[in-house]
A and B are shown apart, each in its own frame.
Chain A
């Protein structure tokens, strides 16, 4: 337990990447040994590890050897009922240990046993299209029902949709923060944040009060993919954080899947590019579940549909997910009747209406 504080100390030293920290730790045989080593040795080891790269600020902070932030973080964790999970802890997720730059210590709030479950990451753009949101939520919902834990970053757009979809199915979800656990970013997700803390797990490698910096968010993406055995990219532009995550996931040896999208949409350009580079596309939800090596649970009973209902459902299926107006114009029923049937099918969980769009569920 006393050893923990040195892990936390090393983890909280800003300005040095985790792979350098890990190499230093290995070189000295542990964070405590590193902490107690003479200054000269550290400088020499640092030069050797970084191959001459200058980490001026980071090195200075390392040499300060200030335990106060670590002490404060551990106290704060105890007070707020959060968990400190250093690399050496048995609670530390084993899959995350295998990446080249695992966080030296993690802070978690909520159900830490989720770190030992099968995780799938769902990532994507913040400016998601309605289709991207729906797909993220639906994939999360379906996988959650099969007992998979959904990992994402609680950003706006796809991330939020994935968490929400998972929670809607009473599933387990992990949100990895680019800020400290006491800071909810974006603020608009305050409610979601509370629900995840209650039913899932919030995870961060930063000190509790850390308000985050733009560069922290791509860095935390390695944790999202590192925790997970597979990574689903729902939507993302060509140069975006989502594609960075996809690259990291591939580097870490995870399965990556991309959601094909509309070629007109900038948000789908990235995922379509991934597919052209050989990432397997998600051609159907059932297909994805099979690719993950899972057995699809029997879906809700679809029986009990009236003739008109199943007729309309088949028509919507034949159109693919399309706009309400298109269906009203082509289904051959009066607008009023078709509208009430659409709602009926939505209540039965077979369709989803979002604004003017109609999606086929499962």
Chain B
């Protein structure tokens, strides 16, 4: 036995006893943390392993063990989804809703923040800002209730007013018409979340050096040109970070609130051809019809796309601008 191994062996042995000594001293902390780990194991990791049910013939009556004991069926359920007669429609709806929401809910808070920044009356600025956050904290259920008060064909005040003023002959079926669903979803998303995301852009604008504005003013730059040449470039980094967040979570709804909540709560039998998205379809197929493996397969396809989007948007942002989330 040579000297080196002897030394390293005694060191490891000492390291081990040292480890246990320290561990004994910290054991209450490990109990606290351990409780959290058990929680994650049950509520986060077991469902993750449960995803294998997408490749199996699973029935709910067999419980958790059934996930492991049921028969493998390979890609049967993935095949079934791709060949589902509603497949194209549902994928189209999911992508349309996701991208339309990104296109409108992403620029809105930036423009709103820039507008707010131009206001010199602090009381008015604070009032507008304070009110604009409020919808973020309201349940989507309430937002749908408000939409009902405004857009329903018989008591919606928007419809009533437009008919009264002679703009339209008869009320528009905004809440149930398939043609209106995307507009309704995007509009309510902007209404609910615009103010909330303004916070982060305003904070970023506040970080711009005021000397830049003074210098530009002396050089004769107008207000619009100051916005375009100072404010906008000054918050570019924040814009990129929020854009990564928004694209990474686009299938879930991005920064415009949950797609699932919107499609589920604003959707109904009549506008189903535009309101049914992958998440609501998986949900209905799974929990309402009890086809768990099929629903899990649909869910899995969507999760894989989401993960790819998160990592690729992050990668692109890193290459393009040097800022990234991780």
**Do A and B share a complex?**
no
Q: Which A residues have a C-beta under 8 Å from some C-beta of B?
A: none
